[in-house]
Amino acid sequence: MVVGAGIAGLVAARQLGLAGWDVELLEKSGAPRPDGYMMDFFGPGVEAAERIGLYPRLAAVAYHVEAAEYVDPAGRPTSSLDYDQFARLAGGKVLSLLRPDMERAALAALEDVTPPPPPGARPLRGAGLPSME
Ligand SMILES: Cc1cc2nc3c(=O)[nH]c(=O)nc-3n(C[C@H](O)[C@H](O)[C@H](O)COP(=O)(O)OP(=O)(O)OC[C@H]3O[C@@H](n4cnc5c(N)ncnc54)[C@H](O)[C@@H]3O)c2cc1C
């Protein structure tokens, strides 16, 4: 049983399922949370995603960021970071992902373990503590 269908719980449930475990995934929210900002995913995170076969799903929802610019309280640029240079320094693979997109990609990746639900099926069940299997 995995409690919490955030990024960690979804990926843990997928990996356990792929390893042959019969997994029940419990989530108290009725739907994925839409909140979150852009995060850069590189180095060991990218290597792990490649090893478990999640990289293509994450790359599909990644943004191409050209630069990050820092501004003062008046909105005047004070410094900037060239993302192509950053990506080269990080070994060439940097995924800029919105947190909710990453969560949705992890949710979609559960289909690697379980067959897709029949049309019209509710993805969550139970009152108060729904389950996503
Ligand atoms: C609003 C918000 C915005 C964020 N934005 C960013 C961001 O931009 N960049 C960044 O790097 N990080 C951000 N974070 C941090 C974020 O928590 C992590 O990046 C990431 O979501 C952590 O994943 P997780 O699976 O470990 O935990 P969570 O995403 O917190 O997932 C835990 C899940 O467990 C569920 N749960 C908890 N208790 C129970 C229970 N008793 N029974 C059933 N289900 C339960 C929760 O509802 C939740 O869905 C943000 C967090 C929040 C809350």
- In order along its 133 residues, the chain shows pLDDT tens digits of 999 999 999 999 999 999 999 999 999 999 888 899 999 889 999 999 999 999 999 999 999 889 889 999 999 999 998 988 988 888 888 999 999 999 999 999 999 996 655 666 665 544 444 444 4
Contact 71, 118 (CB under 8 A): no
Ligand 1 neighbourhood includes 4 CB (under 6 angstroms): yes
E strand or H helix at 84, and its extent? helix 83-89
Cα separation, 113 vs 131, whole angstroms: 16
Which pLDDT score is estimated for 115?
63
Closest CA to 101 of 36, 41, 49: 36
Ligand 1 neighbourhood includes 5 CB (under 6 angstroms): yes
What is the whole-number distance in angstroms between the Cα of residue 75 and the centre of ligand 1?
31
Tell me the three state secondary structure of residue 26. strand
Ligand 1 neighbourhood includes 106 CB (under 6 angstroms): no
Which pLDDT score is estimated for 114?
67
Q: Whose CA is nearest to atom 38 of ligand 1?
A: 4
Domains and CATH numbers, the chain: 2-112 (3.50.50.60)
Ligand 1 neighbourhood includes 97 CB (under 6 angstroms): no
Query: What predicted TM-score, i.e. pTM, was given to this entire model?
Result: 0.81
Tell me the three state secondary structure of residue 128. coil
What is the whole-number distance in angstroms between the Cα of residue 6 and the centre of ligand 1?
5
Q: Residue 75 contacts by C-beta under 8 Å, 6 or more apart in sequence? A: none
